Structure 1
Amino acid sequence: MPADFLSAESERRCRRLLAGATARLRARPAAAAVLVPLCSVRGVPALLYTLRSRRLRGRHRGEVSFPGGKCDPTDQDVVHTALRETREELGLTVPEEQVWGLLRPLHDKRKATVVPVLAGVGQLDPQSLRPNPSEVDEVFVLPLAHLLQAQNQGYTHFCKGGHFEYTMPVFLHGPHRVWGLTAIITEFTLQLLAPDTYQPRLASPKLLKG
């Protein structure tokens, strides 16, 4: 397991691996974008998550997510969407130069394209954030070491008409269960950061096709 996911060497490697897809995806329209905040909490590399407000409308209220949302016509591209939404939801300003690159896009059940934007946000005290209460009920972090432990990883098989369709990853034993598209994005991130350590649970779900 890498000793430091936030090292300059790790960042250079990730930026290099993502460079081609990032240039291609930034030129394409998308329905939504999320920021995947890679941070250090008291020296421990972690991912920052939000718990969406239960006062929101729609199917995803009360769920674990990364900060983000729908692309606005005034946004320059998906990177600016993710950075704007993060600032609006958490009061956290992330400079564009701290963006490492874009991960593989996903498609939700409505076939809308969601683009994950990976960024290193540096040292962070989650308690110092001021989440917008109309959008976020809670902010929490999960150390990468926790996410990489097999006992904290699970999966759910989905069937339709009695036939297996796909497998979705689930991350357990944190403050909240990480599942759905957020778990898939977490899986993409772990595969990028720790390719020799993380064994993916994903089995060609239709949600990713497109």
Structure 2
Amino acid sequence: MLPTLRHFCHGRPPAPIASMGPVRRYLSWENEQRCRGQLEASTNRYRQEAAPAAVLVSLCSVAGDPAILYTLRSSTLTGVHKGSVSFPGGKRDSCDRDPIATALRETQEELGLRVEEDCVWGIMMPIPDKTKMMVMPVLANLGPLERLTLKPNPQEVEAVFTLSFRHLLQEENQGYTNFCHKGTYSHTLPVFLHGPHRVWGLTAIFTELTLELLVPGAYRRRTHVVGRR
């Protein structure tokens, strides 16, 4: 059985487009151009590197409500990421010319969705996963989810769901975890709560990067890791 697609908007049905107000501007043409401009330098830099892995941070809208699309990896997979919330993506293939190609190819393989490169806004800062492998987050806007046909690969994807920006920006849905090493504080990572599945780890960090970029000043960073300013 294929996974079902769920949209979570803090316990409420998506609001009518006419009532969106400033929230709809998160995915406006003007905000897209601003974000593309801010990502231009990092995109030019990182697409020249042979990144070992990349994911597609997938913006979308549901009934006009800006949201982010997530997948729940199949619990039958092997490896440390099985059964966890993630973005479509994976390891670089020899045929991939850059991290963007990796993210788009993996998205098509996992969700049966072909995303054109002009939908990509840019590449955000890469972060190492728990195995120390650098993962590059590629930011793209899929557009209205109602216009898309997703065909998740059941061998890789157990479920697909979205979290609205309204949900992600509410403080009661934001948490954090402090980590210690040998009794000494090491770092803090964000967690996003009260959705169909808890968003944590690398996926939460990439979500945080996205919120900081698209909604500057509206999100208080909860990540504190060495080397990140």
Question: Shorter-chain-normalised TM-score: which range?
Answer: over 0.9
Alignment of 1:43-54 (within 5 A): 43-54=64-75
Aligned to 2:9: none
Distance, in Å, in 2 between the alignment partners of 1:199 and 1:25 is: 26
CA distance in 1, matches of 2:24, 2:164: 13
Identity %: 57
Could you tell me how far apart the structure 2 residues matched to 1:51 and 1:193 are? 24
The one-letter code sitting in structure 2 at the alignment partner of 1:77 is: D
Alignment partner of 2:213 out of 187, 192, 197: 192
Shift of 1:4: 1.7
**2:186 is the alignment partner of 1:168:** no
Deviation track 1:147-179 (CA, whole Å, cap 9, x = no partner) reads: 011000000000111110000000000000000
CA RMSD between the two structures: 1.6
Equivalenced residues, count: 208
Shift of 1:30: 1.0
Paired residue for 2:19? none
Counterpart-to-counterpart distance in 1, 2:148 and 2:95: 31
Say whether residues 1:108 and 2:129 are aligned partners.
Answer: yes
CA-CA distance at 1:127 after TM superposition: 8.6
The yes-or-no answer on 1:72 pairing with 2:93 is: yes
Q: How far apart, in 2, do the equivalents of 1:203 and 1:34 lie?
A: 22
SS in 2 for 1:125: helix
Change (3 A) 1:130 1:187: same
Contact kept in structure 2, 1:126 and 1:140, CA below 8 Å: no
Q: Could you tell me whether the CA contact under 8 Å between 2:113 and 2:149 is conserved in 1? A: no
Residue identity in the other structure for 2:150: L
Kept after mapping to 2: 8 A contact 1:72/1:81:
yes
CA distance in structure 2 between the partners assigned to 1:164 and 1:126 by the alignment: 46
Identify which range, 27-36 or 120-129, moves more after superposition. 120-129
Contact 2:67–2:165 (8 Å) recurs in 1: yes
Superposed displacement of residue 126, structure 1: 9.2
C-alpha separation in 2, matches of 1:161 and 1:150: 31
Q: 1:161 to 1:53 in 2, by over 3 A?
A: same
Structure 1 residue 19 corresponds to structure 2 residue 40: yes
Summarize the alignment of residues 37-186 of structure 1 with structure 2, pairs less than 5 Å apart. 37-125=58-146, 128-186=149-207
Distance 1:110 1:49 in 2: 21
SS in 1 for 2:194: coil
Deviating 4+ runs (over 2 angstroms): 125-128
Mark the CA change 1:74 to 1:177 in structure 2 (over 3 Å): closer, same or farther: same
The answer for unaligned runs of 5 or more in structure 1 is none
* Deviation readout 1:107-137 (Å, 9 max, x if unpaired): 1232211000000110113994110000000
Equivalent in the alignment of 2:15: none
- Is the contact made by 1:126 and 1:139 (CA closer than 8 Å) also made in structure 2? no
